């Protein structure tokens, strides 16, 4: 359930310059409670830099970012109490087992006594690490380490989670489990900002996405909104029982049809428009007397939208 009361995360004209590189250039967006917000872009686009600024690990050159209304520049301590950051590296200690690791971070976040023990129990249960309580961290698999890191991120029950490439290097099962955990966290009302290169998975869980390239924000909104906004063409297949050639000529004469090909009785083309216009097209084909036996529109994925928005500038 996405709350629209006040944003949990807010970036206002954020800039970050490293020597001569403008890593983040005037980036602004908002994330609300209960929302999973995907942050996508090629390597070096400025995702991690913006996330590190939000996590109070770096300072913006200009602009500001807010977590639950607190400035990351002026009130980093208040931000830290409300924020859990999972970077794209593990950050584990040697000679420490799972429960000791969580215990340390629980203490570091100021949890004491029963509250601390309860928080550790809850996190272990949530991340299904109960069976590995006393296992040394060095001996954990990558998926288990990732769970542990997620557990560490939420040990102090933050209202905002920032997850930088949480699914990187995980096997399919671990990825599915991670996705489920993220969905549960969002359902619990947490605002989640997540970056990932696995766009198909991100599209499934993200309520909205922001596409960033070379430090600049190219698009913000739901995948559908962005697709509509950038006029992404959907691949459409139409098979008529006969009159394939006539169908091709009929389609070629219409507007909004691109890259038309005929393979026997099957016409394949790209169509610019939403589902409504596809329905209208089907109706028009039938009314024109073509005996249609197959009509299928393949909508563009987040990957297609991403490639279209970044216009092949992706390195």
Contacting residues toward other proteins, per CB under 8 A = 55-57, 59, 69-71, 73-78, 80-81, 83, 85, 87, 89-96, 100, 103-105, 107-110, 112-113, 116-117, 152, 156
In angstroms, what is the minimal distance from the CB of 158 to other proteins? 10
Q: Give the 3-state secondary structure of residue 77.
A: helix
Question: CA-to-CA distance for 196 and 186, rounded, in angstroms?
Answer: 17
DSSP 300-312: --HHHHHHHHHTT
Nearer to other proteins, 136 or 221 (CB): 136
First to last CA, the chain: 36
Structure tokens, 223: 């995948």
What are the percentages of helix, strand and coil residues in the chain, rounded to 5?
A: 40, 30, 35
Closest to other proteins by CB, 74 vs 171, is: 74
Provide, rounded to whole angstroms, the least separation between the CB of residue 103 and other proteins.
8
Q: State both tokens at 226.
A: 């962005």
Which tokens sit at 174? Answer: 């671990």
Shortest separation between residue 111's beta carbon and other proteins, angstroms: 9
Nearer to other proteins, 43 or 95 (CB): 95
Q: How many CB atoms lie within 10 A of CB 197?
A: 14
Residue 295: how many other CB atoms lie within 10 Å: 16
**Of all helices (H) and strands (E), which one includes residue 22?**
strand 21-31
Q: How far is the CB of 124 from other proteins (least distance, A)?
A: 12
Q: How far is the CB of 121 from other proteins (least distance, A)?
A: 10
Nearer to other proteins by Cβ, of 71 and 216: the residue is 71
Chain centroid to CA 254: how far?
A: 37
Considering the complex, state which of residue 59 and residue 311 has its C-beta at the smaller distance from other proteins: 59
Q: How far is the CB of 19 from other proteins (least distance, A)?
A: 8
Angle between helix 98-108 and helix 142-153 axes, rounded to 10 deg: 20
Q: How far is the CB of 101 from other proteins (least distance, A)?
A: 9
H helices present in 207-293, as ranges: 223-229, 244-252, 275-287
Distance in Å, CB of 95 to other proteins, minimum: 4
Q: Which is nearer to other proteins, 68 or 278 (CB)?
A: 68
The residue (of 101 and 306) whose beta carbon lies closer to other proteins is 101
Q: With H, G, I as helix, E, B as strand and everything else as coil, classify residue 281.
A: helix
Which residue, 56 or 196, is less far from other proteins as judged by CB? 56
Buried-exposed string 254-289: b where 16+ CB fall within 10 A, e elsewhere: eeebeebebeebebebbbebeeeebeebeeebeeee
């Amino acid at each position: 359930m996405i709350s629209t009361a006040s944003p949990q995360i807010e970036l206002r004209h954020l800039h970050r310059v490293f020597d001569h590189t403008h890593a983040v250039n005037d980036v602004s967006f908002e994330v609300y409670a209960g929302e999973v917000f995907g942050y996508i872009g090629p390597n070096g686009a400025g995702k991690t830099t913006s996330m590190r600024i939000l996590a109070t690990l770096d300072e913006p050159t200009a602009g500001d970012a807010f977590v639950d209304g607190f400035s990351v520049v002026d009130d980093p301590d208040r931000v830290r109490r409300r924020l859990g950051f999972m970077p794209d590296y593990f950050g584990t200690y040697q000679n420490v087992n799972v429960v000791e690791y969580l215990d340390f971070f629980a203490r570091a976040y100021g949890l004491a006594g029963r509250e601390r023990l309860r928080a550790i129990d809850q996190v272990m249960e949530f991340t299904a690490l109960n069976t590995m309580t006393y296992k040394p961290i060095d001996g954990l698999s990558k998926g288990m380490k990732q769970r542990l890191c997620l557990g560490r991120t939420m040990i102090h029950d933050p209202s905002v989670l920032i997850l930088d490439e949480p699914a990187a290097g995980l096997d399919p099962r671990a990825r599915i489990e991670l996705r489920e955990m993220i969905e549960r966290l969002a359902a619990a009302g947490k605002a989640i900002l997540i970056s990932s290169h696995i766009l198909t998975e991100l599209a499934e869980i993200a309520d909205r996405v922001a596409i960033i390239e070379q430090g600049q924000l190219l698009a913000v909104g739901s995948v559908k909104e962005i697709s509509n906004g950038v006029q992404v063409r959907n691949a459409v297949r139409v098979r008529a029982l006969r009159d394939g050639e006539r169908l091709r000529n009929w389609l070629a004469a219409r507007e909004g049809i691109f890259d038309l090909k005929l393979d026997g009785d099957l016409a394949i083309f790209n169509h610019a428009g939403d589902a409504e216009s596809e329905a209208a097209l089907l109706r028009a084909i039938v009314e024109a007397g073509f005996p249609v036996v197959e009509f299928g529109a393949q909508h563009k994925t987040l990957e297609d939208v991403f490639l279209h928005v970044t216009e092949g500038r992706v390195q």
